């Protein structure tokens, strides 16, 4: 006999879900405010970089997430669904910050984030109702077509609000744009910490496979973006931007859709994967950033020593000439 046990809904669960909705909505309002259409047009005049990023994000990442889920969790469709939802989400706002920190092409990163955010409204339903349907069928789960479509389209509302603010309230728009980057960081940290505190019970489901899935999806995204950028001979700064954009997924969107789109206990079980991805995604980027800081310091010290040597040699040459 198959027995399904559903967890009792707590106040903190409602607070967490509502706060994710509010924060994601504010982030999308910020996106609407920050969209620089002139910059997008300039970048799109040479669309090789954005096209590579778009293909990596909406072709390779969904397939990679599907394969990871199928290989690691052949008997757990809920886990497959969680990692798949993460793979079909657009690139996260944190990608712009990491691109800036690691010396990538920020203009390209912002353009790719904008295009992927807009493109997600078409590609999330496409992948869910095609490849994702096989996962739903394996788990005897009902595909919540109406719910997912409603919430995906619903994200257009804050995006439109942000665009309206940009056109009609330019001063307020500047304030919103200023807070976008720190707000994106706060959103990521909040989702990770609050998700851990609220969903401590999820860590009972954590296993080496969950950790590997959380590591595998973003890290394979970084590698796919890197190789695609190199194959098409993009500049180094563009390659870094494409790699980071491909690897960083908007886990807030995946958690949002899973929480609202599925019934319990599937909603809880599927949330494990995006939480794991959110925790593991910054690990390699942090390592590379530390390495970059060390190398930059060495370069500065070398430049300073060379300058001292040159300054020391010039008076000596002048004296000898005299």
Dist CA 111 CA 156 (whole Å): 18
Contact between residue 180 and residue 158 where contact means Cβ atoms under 8 Å apart: no
For range 292-309, the mean pLDDT: 77
Q: Which two tokens stand for residue 248?
A: 């960083």
- Fold entry, domain 11-280: Na+/H+ antiporter like fold (1.20.1530)
**Residue 4 has what pLDDT?**
66
What are the residue boundaries of the structural domains of the chain, listed by start? 11-280
pLDDT tens for each residue of 171-208 = 777 777 676 666 666 666 676 677 667 767 667 777 78
- Whether pLDDT at 319 is above 70: no
**Interatomic CA distance for residues 18 and 147, integer angstroms:** 16
pLDDT at 245 exceeding the cut of 60: yes
Cα angle: 200, vertex 279, 265; to 5 degrees = 40
Contact call for residues 69 and 79 (beta carbons, < 8 A): yes
Q: Residues with Cβ < 8 Å from 198, sequence gap 6 or more?
A: 12, 13, 15, 16
d(CA 271, CA 218) in angstroms, rounded, equals 16
Could you read off the pLDDT of 16-70 as tens digits, one per residue?
767 767 776 777 777 677 666 666 666 667 777 788 888 888 889 889 989 998 8
What pLDDT is attached to residue 100?
72
Alpha-carbon gap, residue 261 to 84, rounded angstroms: 14
Task: Give the pLDDT band (50/70/90) at residue 279.
Answer: confident
Give burial (CB, 10 Å; 0-12/13-18/19+) of 171: exposed
């Amino acid at each position: 006999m198959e027995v399904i046990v559903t967890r009792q809904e707590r106040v903190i669960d409602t607070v967490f879900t509502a706060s994710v909705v509010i924060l994601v909505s504010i982030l999308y309002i910020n996106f609407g405010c920050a969209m620089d259409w002139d910059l997008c047009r300039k970048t799109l005049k040479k669309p090789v970089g954005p096209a590579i990023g778009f293909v990596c994000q909406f072709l390779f990442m969904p397939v990679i997430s599907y394969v990871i889920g199928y290989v690691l969790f052949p008997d757990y469709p809920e886990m497959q669904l969680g990692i798949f939802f993460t793979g079909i989400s657009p690139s996260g706002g944190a990608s712009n910050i990491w691109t800036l920190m690691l010396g990538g092409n920020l203009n390209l990163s912002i353009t790719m984030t904008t295009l992927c955010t807009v493109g997600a409204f078409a590609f999330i339903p496409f992948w869910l109702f095609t490849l994702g349907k096989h996962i739903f069928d394996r788990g005897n789960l009902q595909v919540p077509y109406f719910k997912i479509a409603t919430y995906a389209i619903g994200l257009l509302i804050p995006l439109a609000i942000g665009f309206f603010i940009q056109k009609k309230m330019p001063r307020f728009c500047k304030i919103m744009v200023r807070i976008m980057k720190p707000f994106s960081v706060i959103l990521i940290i909040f989702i990770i910490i609050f998700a851990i505190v609220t969903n401590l019970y999820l860590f009972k489901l954590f296993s080496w496979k969950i950790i590997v899935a959380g590591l595998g999806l973003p890290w394979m995204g970084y590698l796919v973006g890197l190789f695609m950028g190199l194959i098409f001979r993009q500049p180094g700064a563009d390659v870094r931007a494409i790699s980071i954009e491909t690897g960083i997924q908007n886990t807030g969107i995946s958690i949002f859709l899973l929480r609202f789109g599925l019934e319990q206990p599937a909603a809880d079980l599927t949330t494990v994967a995006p939480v794991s991805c959110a925790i593991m995604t910054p690990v390699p980027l942090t390592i590379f950033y530390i390495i970059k800081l060390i190398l930059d310091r060495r370069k500065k010290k070398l430049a300073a020593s060379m300058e001292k040597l040159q300054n020391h040699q010039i008076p000596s040459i002048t004296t000898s000439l005299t």
